[in-house]
C-alpha cells in the first residue's frame, strides 16, 4: 500500500499572520500536512482526558482577535472526536478568537439525514445545531453524504468536493483505455456523472435490491461494461460489502477490471480483510479519516492526501477569496 505524503508548499498570502490552525486528535497527520501546505505552524493545544475520560482542552497560545481553523474529523470514535471539537470551539470562543471555522474533513452522522422510519432522529441536523451552539462561526467539510446537510447549518458552510482530486489520480494511475465510471447505486449518479464528465468516459449504474429481508442483494448493471476498466465512485465505504458485491457483479458482467475511488474510508469491522480478498483491483481513499495500520498494510488499498485541497480552501477563506472557484 502506498500513501501519498508529499505536500507541495505554497507561498503564504498576506493576512496569514492573523490566521491560526489547530488540530484535534482525530487526524493529526492531516492537520500537520495542511499546516505544511500553508507554511504556518500548527497551533499549540492540549487535548487530553481526565481519568474518567472527560475531555480536557487547553489552548497554549494567544488567539485573541485571530481567525482560527480547527481540523477535526468526527470519525471513529465519533462521539469522542465530536466532543473534542465542541470543547475546542468553546475554548477558542472564550479566548476571544475573532472567527472560528470548524474544518471537518469527514462529517460523522451524515448518513442520518432524514427520517428513515417512524420515531427515528435526524442526527445530522442535531450535530449541526450542536456545532453552531458551541460557537463555530462557519463550517468547512468534504463530500457530505447528502448535499442538503449543508442547509442544516445556520452558519456559512462550505462543502468541498473531492472529484477534482480523484479524477487527477485516475488520469495518473489508471488505465484510461476503455474506461467506464460506475455509480454503485442510483443515489450516487450525480457524483459519478461529475467524474465521468471530467474523464470523458461513459457512465454505468449498479442497481441493487433485496427480494426478501435478510437475503443478499441482487445486482443488475445498467449499461454495457463488457471489456471495460470500471471505476466505482462513492462518498463513504463502511463495511465494504456493497462495494465488493458491486465489483463482483461488474466482473460477472464482463468487465476487464474493477477499481474504486471513495472519499471517506470508514472501513469498520472486517472491511479491510473483505476488500483485500475481493475482486477489486484497487481501492483508493482519501486521508479525510486517518488510516489505520491495517489500511496502510492492505495490498490493494491506496491513500491520497486532501491536504492541498483543504489548505487552499482554508487560505481562500482567511483571505476572503472565492472557494467555489476551486471546482470550476
Instruction: Count, in order, helices (H) and strands (E) of the chain.
Output: 9, 14
52 marked as part of a ligand binding site: yes
241 marked as part of a ligand binding site: yes
73 marked as part of a ligand binding site: no
Distance, in Å, from the CA atom of 122 to the CA atom of 251, rounded to the nearest integer, reads 37
The 3-state DSSP composition of the chain as helix, strand, coil percent (nearest 5) reads 35, 25, 40
54 marked as part of a ligand binding site: yes
Q: Which residues pair with 279 in a beta bridge?
A: none
Distance, in Å, from the CA atom of 206 to the CA atom of 244, rounded to the nearest integer, reads 12
208 is a catalytic site residue: yes
Q: Which residue has the cell 481562500?
A: 316
Q: Which residues pair with 157 in a beta bridge?
A: 139
Q: Return the SS3 of 218.
A: strand
185 marked as part of a ligand binding site: yes
210 marked as part of a ligand binding site: yes
Distance, in Å, from the CA atom of 16 to the CA atom of 92, rounded to the nearest integer, reads 18
197, 208, 281, 293: the catalytic one is 208
CB 310 within 8 A of CB 72: no
117 marked as part of a ligand binding site: no
CB 112 within 8 A of CB 121: yes
Among 322, 312, 304, smallest CA distance to 6 is for 304
112 marked as part of a ligand binding site: yes
**E strands, the chain, in order:** 19-23, 45-49, 55-59, 67-71, 99-104, 138-142, 157-160, 179-183, 203-209, 218-222, 229-237, 257-265, 282-286, 301-304
239 marked as part of a ligand binding site: yes
Backbone angles phi, psi at 81, to 5 degrees: -70, -35
Q: Which residues are annotated as a binding site for ATP?
A: 52-54, 111-112
- Report the catalytic residues: 208
Q: Which residues are annotated as a binding site for Mg(2+)?
A: 145, 185
Q: Which residues are annotated as a binding site?
A: 52-54, 111-112, 145, 185, 210, 234, 238-242
Q: Which residues are annotated as a binding site for D-ribose 5-phosphate?
A: 210, 234, 238-242
Amino acid at each position: 500500500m502506498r500513501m501519498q505524503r508529499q505536500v507541495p508548499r505554497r507561498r503564504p498570502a498576506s493576512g496569514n499572520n492573523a490566521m491560526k490552525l489547530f488540530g484535534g486528535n482525530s487526524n493529526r497527520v492531516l492537520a500537520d500536512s495542511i499546516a505544511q501546505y500553508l507554511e504556518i505552524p500548527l497551533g499549540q493545544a492540549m487535548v487530553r482526558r481526565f481519568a474518567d475520560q472527560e475531555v480536557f482542552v487547553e489552548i497554549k497560545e494567544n488567539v485573541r482577535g485571530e481567525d482560527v481553523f480547527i481540523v477535526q474529523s468526527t470519525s471513529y470514535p465519533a462521539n469522542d472526536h465530536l466532543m473534542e471539537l465542541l470543547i475546542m470551539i468553546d475554548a477558542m470562543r472564550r479566548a476571544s478568537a475573532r472567527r472560528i471555522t470548524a474544518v471537518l474533513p469527514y462529517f460523522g452522522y451524515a448518513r442520518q439525514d432524514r427520517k428513515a422510519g417512524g420515531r427515528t432522529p435526524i442526527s445530522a441536523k442535531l450535530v449541526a445545531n450542536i456545532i453552531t451552539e458551541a460557537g463555530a462561526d462557519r463550517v468547512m467539510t468534504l463530500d457530505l453524504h447528502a448535499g442538503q446537510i449543508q442547509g442544516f447549518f445556520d452558519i456559512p458552510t462550505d462543502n468541498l468536493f473531492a472529484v477534482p482530486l480523484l479524477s487527477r489520480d485516475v488520469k495518473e494511475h489508471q488505465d484510461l483505455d476503455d474506461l467506464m465510471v460506475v455509480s454503485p447505486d442510483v443515489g450516487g449518479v450525480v457524483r459519478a456523472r461529475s467524474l465521468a464528465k471530467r474523464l470523458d468516459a461513459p457512465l454505468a449504474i449498479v442497481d441493487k435490491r433485496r427480494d426478501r429481508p435478510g437475503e443478499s442483494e441482487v445486482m443488475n448493471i445498467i449499461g454495457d461494461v463488457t471489456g471495460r476498466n470500471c471505476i466505482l465512485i462513492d462518498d463513504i465505504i463502511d463495511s465494504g460489502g456493497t462495494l465488493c458485491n458491486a465489483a463482483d457483479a461488474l466482473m460477472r458482467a464482463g468487465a476487464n477490471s474493477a477499481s474504486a475511488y471513495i472519499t471517506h474510508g470508514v472501513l469498520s469491522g472486517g472491511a479491510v480483510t473483505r476488500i483485500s480478498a475481493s475482486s477489486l483491483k484497487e481501492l483508493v481513499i482519501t486521508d479525510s479519516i486517518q488510516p489505520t495500520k491495517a489500511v496502510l498494510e492492505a495490498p490493494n488499498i491506496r491513500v491520497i492526501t486532501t491536504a492541498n485541497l483543504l489548505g487552499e480552501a482554508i487560505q481562500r477563506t482567511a483571505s476572503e477569496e472565492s472557494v467555489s472557484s476551486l471546482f470550476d
